[in-house]
Chain A
Amino acid sequence: DQQVKQNSPSLSVQEGRISILNCDYTNSMFDYFLWYKKYPAEGPTFLISISSIKDKNEDGRFTVFLNKSAKHLSLHIVPSQPGDSAVYFCAASLRNDYKLSFGAGTTVTVRA
Protein backbone atom coordinates (compact mmCIF):
# COMPACT_ATOMS: atom_id res chain seq x y z
CA ASP A 1 0.00 0.00 0.00
CA GLN A 2 1.87 3.06 -1.25
CA GLN A 3 -1.03 5.48 -1.07
CA VAL A 4 0.43 7.57 1.75
CA LYS A 5 4.09 8.53 1.68
CA GLN A 6 6.37 10.23 4.12
CA ASN A 7 9.60 10.67 2.25
CA SER A 8 11.66 11.96 5.15
CA PRO A 9 12.47 9.15 7.57
CA SER A 10 13.97 11.54 10.09
CA LEU A 11 14.06 15.17 11.13
CA SER A 12 16.31 16.88 13.66
CA VAL A 13 15.36 20.30 14.97
CA GLN A 14 16.53 22.59 17.72
CA GLU A 15 14.27 23.23 20.68
CA GLY A 16 12.16 26.31 20.11
CA ARG A 17 12.34 26.08 16.34
CA ILE A 18 9.66 24.94 13.92
CA SER A 19 9.34 21.29 12.90
CA ILE A 20 7.77 20.71 9.50
CA LEU A 21 6.74 17.20 8.58
CA ASN A 22 5.54 16.40 5.10
CA CYS A 23 3.21 13.79 3.70
CA ASP A 24 2.04 13.01 0.18
CA TYR A 25 -0.82 10.84 -0.96
CA THR A 26 -1.92 9.38 -4.23
CA ASN A 27 -5.59 8.54 -3.72
CA SER A 28 -7.67 11.60 -4.57
CA MET A 29 -10.65 9.97 -2.86
CA PHE A 30 -9.12 10.33 0.58
CA ASP A 31 -11.40 12.51 2.61
CA TYR A 32 -9.85 12.76 6.02
CA PHE A 33 -6.23 13.11 7.09
CA LEU A 34 -4.65 12.58 10.45
CA TRP A 35 -1.35 12.78 12.24
CA TYR A 36 -0.42 10.31 14.92
CA LYS A 37 2.51 10.45 17.29
CA LYS A 38 4.24 7.36 18.63
CA TYR A 39 6.72 6.95 21.45
CA PRO A 40 8.78 3.75 21.76
CA ALA A 41 6.87 0.87 23.38
CA GLU A 42 3.57 2.73 23.04
CA GLY A 43 0.77 2.70 20.54
CA PRO A 44 0.13 5.60 18.15
CA THR A 45 -1.63 8.57 19.74
CA PHE A 46 -3.95 10.79 17.76
CA LEU A 47 -2.52 14.29 17.37
CA ILE A 48 -4.53 16.34 14.90
CA SER A 49 -6.72 15.84 11.85
CA ILE A 50 -8.11 17.72 8.90
CA SER A 51 -11.06 17.18 6.66
CA SER A 52 -10.66 17.54 2.92
CA ILE A 53 -13.00 20.52 2.93
CA LYS A 54 -10.47 22.53 4.90
CA ASP A 55 -6.94 23.64 4.14
CA LYS A 56 -5.78 24.33 7.67
CA ASN A 57 -6.46 23.12 11.16
CA GLU A 58 -4.74 24.38 14.26
CA ASP A 59 -4.52 22.97 17.77
CA GLY A 60 -2.13 24.71 20.10
CA ARG A 61 1.41 24.23 18.85
CA PHE A 62 0.28 21.92 16.06
CA THR A 63 -1.04 23.02 12.69
CA VAL A 64 -1.87 20.80 9.76
CA PHE A 65 -2.04 22.19 6.24
CA LEU A 66 -3.73 20.42 3.35
CA ASN A 67 -3.07 21.13 -0.32
CA LYS A 68 -5.54 18.97 -2.19
CA SER A 69 -4.39 19.95 -5.65
CA ALA A 70 -0.88 18.82 -4.79
CA LYS A 71 -2.10 15.88 -2.71
CA HIS A 72 0.14 17.07 0.05
CA LEU A 73 -0.22 17.77 3.72
CA SER A 74 2.17 18.99 6.33
CA LEU A 75 2.35 19.21 10.08
CA HIS A 76 3.95 22.22 11.73
CA ILE A 77 5.04 22.12 15.34
CA VAL A 78 5.87 25.51 16.79
CA PRO A 79 7.79 25.81 19.00
CA SER A 80 9.33 22.35 19.11
CA GLN A 81 9.93 20.88 22.55
CA PRO A 82 12.08 17.95 23.69
CA GLY A 83 8.92 16.00 24.50
CA ASP A 84 7.97 16.18 20.84
CA SER A 85 10.75 13.72 20.01
CA ALA A 86 8.81 10.75 18.63
CA VAL A 87 7.78 9.06 15.41
CA TYR A 88 5.04 10.92 13.55
CA PHE A 89 2.71 9.07 11.21
CA CYS A 90 0.56 10.62 8.57
CA ALA A 91 -2.65 8.70 7.86
CA ALA A 92 -5.63 9.03 5.57
CA SER A 93 -9.05 7.53 5.18
CA LEU A 94 -11.90 7.48 2.74
CA ARG A 95 -15.28 8.88 3.75
CA ASN A 96 -17.25 6.36 5.78
CA ASP A 97 -14.38 3.89 5.61
CA TYR A 98 -13.18 2.01 8.63
CA LYS A 99 -9.51 1.81 7.89
CA LEU A 100 -6.57 4.15 7.99
CA SER A 101 -3.73 4.07 5.47
CA PHE A 102 -0.52 5.06 7.19
CA GLY A 103 2.70 6.56 5.96
CA ALA A 104 6.02 5.05 6.98
CA GLY A 105 6.61 7.64 9.68
CA THR A 106 9.13 10.40 10.36
CA THR A 107 11.30 10.25 13.44
CA VAL A 108 11.61 13.70 14.97
CA THR A 109 14.44 14.51 17.33
CA VAL A 110 14.29 17.81 19.15
CA ARG A 111 17.74 18.92 20.34
CA ALA A 112 18.01 20.94 23.53
Chain B
Amino acid sequence: EPEVTQTPSHQVTQMGQEVILRCVPISNHLYFYWYRQILGQKVEFLVSFYNNEISEKSEIFDDQFSVERPDGSNFTLKIRSTKLEDSAMYFCASSLAGGFRGTGELFFGEGSRLTVL
Protein backbone atom coordinates (compact mmCIF):
# COMPACT_ATOMS: atom_id res chain seq x y z
CA GLU B 1 0.00 0.00 0.00
CA PRO B 2 1.43 3.40 -0.93
CA GLU B 3 2.38 5.58 2.00
CA VAL B 4 3.74 8.96 2.92
CA THR B 5 7.23 8.74 4.37
CA GLN B 6 8.93 11.32 6.55
CA THR B 7 12.51 11.87 7.68
CA PRO B 8 13.91 12.26 10.21
CA SER B 9 11.66 10.53 12.70
CA HIS B 10 13.17 12.62 15.48
CA GLN B 11 15.39 15.68 15.39
CA VAL B 12 16.88 17.56 18.29
CA THR B 13 18.17 21.04 17.60
CA GLN B 14 19.33 24.13 19.40
CA MET B 15 17.19 27.24 19.45
CA GLY B 16 17.98 29.49 16.52
CA GLN B 17 19.15 26.70 14.25
CA GLU B 18 17.62 25.90 10.89
CA VAL B 19 15.74 22.66 10.47
CA ILE B 20 14.53 20.90 7.34
CA LEU B 21 11.93 18.18 7.61
CA ARG B 22 11.51 15.96 4.60
CA CYS B 23 8.56 14.13 3.19
CA VAL B 24 7.96 11.85 0.25
CA PRO B 25 4.26 12.04 -0.61
CA ILE B 26 2.39 9.29 -2.41
CA SER B 27 3.64 9.35 -5.95
CA ASN B 28 0.48 10.24 -7.88
CA HIS B 29 -0.80 12.75 -5.34
CA LEU B 30 -1.02 16.39 -6.28
CA TYR B 31 -1.73 18.19 -3.02
CA PHE B 32 0.67 18.32 -0.12
CA TYR B 33 0.25 19.50 3.43
CA TRP B 34 2.05 20.04 6.70
CA TYR B 35 0.31 19.75 10.03
CA ARG B 36 1.79 19.80 13.49
CA GLN B 37 0.80 18.62 16.94
CA ILE B 38 2.36 20.18 20.00
CA LEU B 39 2.41 17.68 22.84
CA GLY B 40 -0.98 17.53 24.51
CA GLN B 41 -2.60 19.82 21.97
CA LYS B 42 -4.62 19.51 18.78
CA VAL B 43 -3.34 18.64 15.36
CA GLU B 44 -3.02 22.02 13.61
CA PHE B 45 -2.93 22.88 9.93
CA LEU B 46 0.19 24.70 8.78
CA VAL B 47 0.19 24.86 5.01
CA SER B 48 -1.10 23.31 1.80
CA PHE B 49 0.81 23.21 -1.46
CA TYR B 50 -0.34 22.58 -5.01
CA ASN B 51 1.16 23.15 -8.41
CA ASN B 52 4.42 24.37 -6.88
CA GLU B 53 2.88 27.07 -4.79
CA ILE B 54 1.24 27.54 -1.42
CA SER B 55 -2.53 27.30 -1.73
CA GLU B 56 -3.33 28.09 1.88
CA LYS B 57 -1.47 28.72 5.12
CA SER B 58 -2.39 29.27 8.73
CA GLU B 59 -1.34 32.06 11.07
CA ILE B 60 1.25 29.69 12.51
CA PHE B 61 3.04 29.56 9.18
CA ASP B 62 4.94 32.82 9.47
CA ASP B 63 8.08 34.03 7.72
CA GLN B 64 10.20 31.55 9.65
CA PHE B 65 8.55 28.70 7.78
CA SER B 66 8.87 27.76 4.13
CA VAL B 67 7.98 24.80 1.99
CA GLU B 68 9.49 23.51 -1.18
CA ARG B 69 9.16 20.71 -3.65
CA PRO B 70 12.75 20.61 -4.87
CA ASP B 71 12.25 17.65 -7.18
CA GLY B 72 9.49 15.34 -8.33
CA SER B 73 9.31 13.36 -5.14
CA ASN B 74 10.29 15.35 -2.05
CA PHE B 75 8.30 17.95 -0.15
CA THR B 76 10.17 19.83 2.56
CA LEU B 77 9.34 22.08 5.48
CA LYS B 78 12.06 24.47 6.56
CA ILE B 79 12.12 26.38 9.82
CA ARG B 80 14.77 29.07 9.51
CA SER B 81 15.43 29.92 13.13
CA THR B 82 13.80 27.50 15.51
CA LYS B 83 12.14 28.57 18.73
CA LEU B 84 11.33 26.53 21.79
CA GLU B 85 7.65 26.64 20.89
CA ASP B 86 8.36 24.96 17.56
CA SER B 87 8.86 21.69 19.42
CA ALA B 88 6.12 19.43 18.10
CA MET B 89 5.33 16.43 15.95
CA TYR B 90 5.18 17.55 12.34
CA PHE B 91 2.99 15.52 10.01
CA CYS B 92 3.24 15.60 6.27
CA ALA B 93 0.15 14.59 4.29
CA SER B 94 -0.84 14.27 0.67
CA SER B 95 -4.01 13.84 -1.32
CA LEU B 96 -4.96 13.16 -4.88
CA ALA B 97 -7.54 15.94 -4.93
CA GLY B 98 -7.83 19.13 -2.96
CA GLY B 99 -10.60 20.99 -1.20
CA PHE B 100 -13.87 19.31 -0.46
CA ARG B 101 -12.94 15.92 -1.78
CA GLY B 102 -9.28 16.06 -0.94
CA THR B 103 -9.61 16.56 2.76
CA GLY B 104 -11.35 13.22 3.07
CA GLU B 105 -8.60 11.28 1.46
CA LEU B 106 -5.66 12.82 3.26
CA PHE B 107 -2.87 10.33 3.81
CA PHE B 108 -0.56 11.22 6.69
CA GLY B 109 3.01 10.22 7.29
CA GLU B 110 4.21 8.91 10.63
CA GLY B 111 5.48 12.28 11.68
CA SER B 112 8.80 13.92 12.51
CA ARG B 113 9.29 14.84 16.12
CA LEU B 114 11.18 18.10 16.52
CA THR B 115 12.68 18.97 19.87
CA VAL B 116 14.12 22.47 20.25
CA LEU B 117 16.44 22.98 23.20
Binding site for B on A (CB under 8 A): 1, 31-32, 34, 36, 41-46, 49, 89, 91, 93, 95-105
B110 near A98 (CB under 8 angstroms)? no
| A104/B99 in contact, CB under 8 A | no
Neighbouring B residues of A93 by C-beta, 8 Å? 100, 103
Contact A49-B99, Cβ < 8 Å, known A1-B42, A102-B42? no
A98-B102 contact given A42-B110, A43-B4, A43-B108, CB 8 Å threshold: yes
Which chain B positions have C-beta within 8 A of A99?
33, 45, 48, 56, 58, 103
- In the bound complex, CA of A32 to CA of B28 (Å): 24
Checking A44, A95, A104 against B41 with a beta-carbon cut-off of 8 angstroms, the contacting residue is: A104
Interface residue? B55 (CB, 8 A): yes
Contact between A103 and B42, CB atoms less than 8 A apart: yes
What interface size band does chain B fall in?
Answer: 20 to 34
Contacts between chains A and B (CB distance < 8 A), count: 71
Instruction: Assess whether B106 is interfacial by the CB under 8 Å rule.
Output: yes
Shortest distance from the beta carbon of B40 to any chain A beta carbon, whole Å = 9
Q: How far apart sit A93 and B45, CA to CA, in the bound complex (Å)?
A: 11
Shortest distance from the beta carbon of B96 to any chain A beta carbon, whole Å: 12
Given A44-B91, A104-B42, A98–B31 Cβ distance below 8 Å? yes
In the assembled complex, which residues on chain B have CB atoms less than 8 Å from the CB atom of A98?
31, 33, 48, 50, 55-56, 98-99, 102-103
CA distance A95 to B101 in the complex (A): 9
- In the complex the two chains form, is A45's CB within 8 Å of B44's CB? no
Most buried by B among A1, A93, A99, A105: A99
CA distance A103 to B44 in the complex (A): 9
- Chain B positions within 8 Å of A102 at CB level: 42-44
CA of A36 to CA of B31, assembled, Å: 19
Residues in B with CB closer than 8 Å to A89 are 43
